[in-house]
Amino acid sequence: MTFIQPAYAQGAGASDPLTGLLIPMLLMMAIFYFLVIRPQSERAKKHREMIEKVRRGDTVVTSGGFVGKVLRVPDNSDEVEVELSDQMKVRVLRSTLMDVRSKGEPVKE
């Protein structure tokens, strides 16, 4: 009387690496691109365009939360001179500008 059956080796299944791992990985990368990378690059492009168009008289908001009026925009510099009050003028980097409002543009809600 034998309780243990002999184990026979089975033939290797035809497993295609494309369907097993590569296709889901490509699908995840495509989803990641359309949900994260593409929108972020579009926002960065709009921000760069906004900073390049800053001109004298615009109202700007810095990343520190300061709101001021642009006094001077040198062409060859990455700095902008901003007036925070009548006696306070500061130079800020263009990259730290969060929002640029034109002279006649209303406040965004």
Predicted TM-score (pTM) of the model is 0.66
Q: Does the residue 109 lie in any domain?
A: no
The confidence score (pLDDT) of residue 59 equals 93
Query: Residue 39 is encoded by which pair of tokens?
Result: 């929108």
Tokens coding 26: 């490509």
7 in any annotated domain: no
Q: Which one, of 108, 100, 97, lies nearest residue 56 by Cα?
A: 100
Q: How does pLDDT run along the chain (109 residues), one tens digit per residue? A: 667 887 776 665 556 666 778 888 999 999 999 999 999 999 999 999 999 889 999 999 999 999 999 999 998 889 999 999 999 999 999 999 999 987 656 655 5
Which range of residues forms the domain containing residue 45?
16-52
The answer to whether position 27 is within a domain reads yes
CATH value at residue 97 = 2.30.30
Measured CA to CA in angstroms, residue 80 lies from 14, 63, 85 at distances of: 65, 14, 15
